[in-house]
C-alpha cells in the first residue's frame, strides 16, 4: 500500500501535466479589416505597425506606431518628409561604442490633422497596429 500511493501520485501528476493546453480563439488572432485596407467608409487612413522596441516600453512601441502611421498619411497628402540618419561605431580594446544622430525635416503647405481610430495588438507577434484617420 505504501508503494502504491507514490505510484498513483506520479501517474496523477503526469496526467495533469500532459493535458492539452487551450488554444487561443482564431477570431482574436485575425487581423481587423482596416489593417490591410485603412481607407474605409470614405475615410483616408493609414496604419502604423511597431514591434517590441529596444527599451521594451509599451509607450515607445505606441509612439513608434503613431509616427509610422503619420508618416504614411503625410505621404498620401503630399507632404515632403526627409530623414537623415548618421551612425558611427567604434571598437577599441574589446569595448564597443555606438552613436546615432537622427534629424527629421517635414515641409508642407498644409497641416495634417488626424486621430487614432482603432488600436489592435497581435498577441502572437506582440506587434501593435494603430489606425489613424484624417479628420
- Higher pLDDT among residues 114 and 29, named by residue: 114
Closest CA to 127 of 34, 26, 53, 73: 53
Where in the chain are the domains? 40-89+97-135
- Quick one: what percent of the chain has pLDDT higher than 70? 56
What is the torsion angle, in degrees rounded to the nearest 10, for the CA atoms of residue 46, residue 48, residue 49 and residue 54?
A: 170
Among 13-27, 52-66, 98-112, the range scoring the smallest mean pLDDT is 13-27
**Whether pLDDT at 25 is above 90:** no
Closest CA to 65 of 118, 3, 113, 123: 118
- Higher pLDDT among residues 19 and 90, named by residue: 90
| CATH of segment(s) 40-89+97-135 | 3.30.1660
Report whether 10 contacts 97 (CB < 8 A): no
Q: How far is CA 85 from the centre of its chain?
A: 22
Q: Is the pTM of this model over 0.75?
A: no
For the segment 128-134, the average pLDDT, to the nearest whole number, is: 94
Amino acid at each position: 500500500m505504501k508503494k502504491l500511493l507514490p505510484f498513483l501520485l506520479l501517474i496523477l501528476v503526469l496526467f495533469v501535466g500532459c493535458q492539452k493546453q487551450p488554444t487561443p480563439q482564431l477570431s482574436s488572432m485575425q487581423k481587423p479589416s482596416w489593417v490591410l485596407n485603412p481607407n474605409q467608409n470614405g475615410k483616408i487612413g493609414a496604419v502604423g505597425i511597431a514591434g517590441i522596441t529596444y527599451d521594451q516600453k509599451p509607450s515607445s512601441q505606441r509612439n513608434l506606431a503613431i509616427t509610422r502611421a503619420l508618416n504614411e498619411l503625410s505621404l498620401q497628402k503630399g507632404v515632403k518628409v526627409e530623414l537623415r540618419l548618421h551612425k558611427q561605431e567604434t571598437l577599441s580594446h574589446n569595448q564597443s561604442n555606438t552613436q546615432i544622430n537622427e534629424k527629421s525635416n517635414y515641409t508642407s503647405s498644409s497641416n495634417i490633422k488626424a486621430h487614432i481610430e482603432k488600436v489592435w495588438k497581435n498577441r502572437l507577434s506582440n506587434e501593435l497596429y494603430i489606425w489613424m484617420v484624417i479628420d
